[in-house]
Amino acid sequence: METKAAADLFTVLGHAGRLSVFRLLMRHAPRGVRAGEIATVLGLKQNTASVYLKALEQVGLIAATREGRQIHYAIDLARTAALTDYFLADCCRGRPDLCAPAAAASPTPSEGSPEMSPRVFNVLFICSGNSARSIFAEAILNALGQGRFVAHSAGTRAQSALNPYAIEVLKRNGHDISGLYAKNVGLFREPGAPRFDFVFTVCDTAAHEECAAWPGQPMTAHWGMPDPVKAVGTEAEKALAFARTYAELHRRLAAFVALPIDALQRTALQGRLDDLGQVVSA
């Protein structure tokens, strides 16, 4: 990337409002977010949000697509990566102590160390209430992972109890629910909490939240899914919504468990995780 182009991008991102829009879209990447939803989440007037979005789009950091009557904005990952490469390679000259201090400070497991023999991955699933989707994911991965994965779940606004429909689906699929309960995500930021290798958001509300980065630079992805708690209709129709959510998460997590995680480079693995988030039930 040329210096002039990089300067234009930095100038656009140097505004707090535009940066907040960019950060929100990054939390949903590679998916897009509706223009109206962006304004609502950030507490912006519609015309103000439009100005910010136009500025980001003009320099190529985001792109707009129309879906029906709605316009969705998404991060241009290639353009953003080019800007990052420029900053790291040109400005920082590739020095790991300057470019990636957190990564440089993280110890690399050595052969024969407890972390490598065998490697166990800690995974956190986050949604808003932690009453259904993230609880499903926790239970499914702990069952499919067979000790290779240790799954946890939490909510940004955790409720006091699991949803009754969710409990029924879990029981019907043979899960032990005795150790499952709704938790706030703050629990996993306390001293002694697990150090995560993967953190997934499974609802848009959780992805909207502006949270501090997790220690250790875990892999992250947004696997947003409709909230079955909001399903309307008969009791049977509501129960069906929960069953479909469970089935979709089971498909994604079965594919996740099958990934050759140790053999994939970080960028390749990130792409596979993002792809899993695009899976749509038939």
- Assess whether pLDDT exceeds 90 at residue 266: no
What is the domain-level CATH number for residue 30?
1.10.10.10
Mean pLDDT of the region 229-250: 93
What DSSP designation does 86 have? I
> b/e string for 246-275 if b means 16 or more Cβ within 10 A?
bebbbebbeebbeeebeeeeeeebbebbbe
Q: How far apart are CA 168 and CA 175, in angstroms?
A: 10
Question: Is residue 48 domain-resident?
Answer: yes
What does the mean pLDDT of the chain come to? 85
Mean pLDDT of the region 31-57: 90
Q: Please report the pLDDT score of residue 217 as a whole number.
A: 82
Question: Is residue 8 domain-resident?
Answer: yes
Q: Give the domain-ending residue among 67, 88, 109.
A: 88
Which tops the pLDDT comparison, 56 or 3? 56
Residues 78 and 168 in one domain: no
Residues 75 and 208 in one domain: no
Residues 142 and 235 in one domain: yes
pLDDT bin (cut points 50, 70, 90) of residue 94 is: low
Residues 157 and 243 in one domain: yes
Instruction: Say what percent of the chain tops pLDDT 70.
Output: 88
Instruction: Say what percent of the chain tops pLDDT 90.
Output: 52
Which tops the pLDDT comparison, 231 or 105? 231
Mean pLDDT of the region 240-251: 95
Mean pLDDT of the region 159-179: 90
Question: Is residue 114 domain-resident?
Answer: no
The residue whose two tokens read 């499974």 is 202
Mean pLDDT of the region 249-260: 94
Residues 133 and 223 in one domain: yes
pLDDT bin (cut points 50, 70, 90) of residue 114 is: very low
Q: Please report the pLDDT score of residue 106 as a whole number.
A: 43
Which structure tokens are listed for 221? 């992805």
Residues 126 and 58 in one domain: no
Residues 72 and 144 in one domain: no
Residues 149 and 82 in one domain: no
pLDDT bin (cut points 50, 70, 90) of residue 164 is: very high
Q: How far apart are CA 231 and CA 244, in angstroms?
A: 11
Question: Is residue 102 domain-resident?
Answer: no
* Beta-sheet pairing, 121-127 with 149-155: parallel
Which structure tokens are listed for 278? 């695009």
Question: Is residue 46 domain-resident?
Answer: yes
Instruction: Give all strands (DSSP E) within 100-250, no chain letters.
Output: 121-127, 149-155, 198-201, 219-222
What is the extent of the structural domain holding 28? 3-88
What is the domain-level CATH number for residue 208?
3.40.50.2300
Question: Is residue 151 domain-resident?
Answer: yes
Whether residue 119 contacts residue 193, with contact meaning beta carbons closer than 8 Å, is answered with no
Residues 44 and 158 in one domain: no
CB within 8 Å of 111: residues ≥ 6 apart: none
Q: Please report the pLDDT score of residue 118 as a whole number.
A: 66
Question: Is residue 170 domain-resident?
Answer: yes
Residues 45 and 153 in one domain: no
CA angle (134 as vertex; 249, 21 as ends), nearest 5: 100
pLDDT bin (cut points 50, 70, 90) of residue 139 is: very high
Q: For 200-234, what is each residue's pLDDT tens digit?
A: 999 888 777 777 778 888 999 999 888 998 998 99
- What is the domain count for the chain? 2
- Assess whether pLDDT exceeds 50 at residue 116: no
pLDDT bin (cut points 50, 70, 90) of residue 111 is: very low
Residues 236 and 153 in one domain: yes
pLDDT bin (cut points 50, 70, 90) of residue 1 is: confident
Question: Is residue 105 domain-resident?
Answer: no
Pick from 172-176, 191-195, 214-218: least confident? 214-218
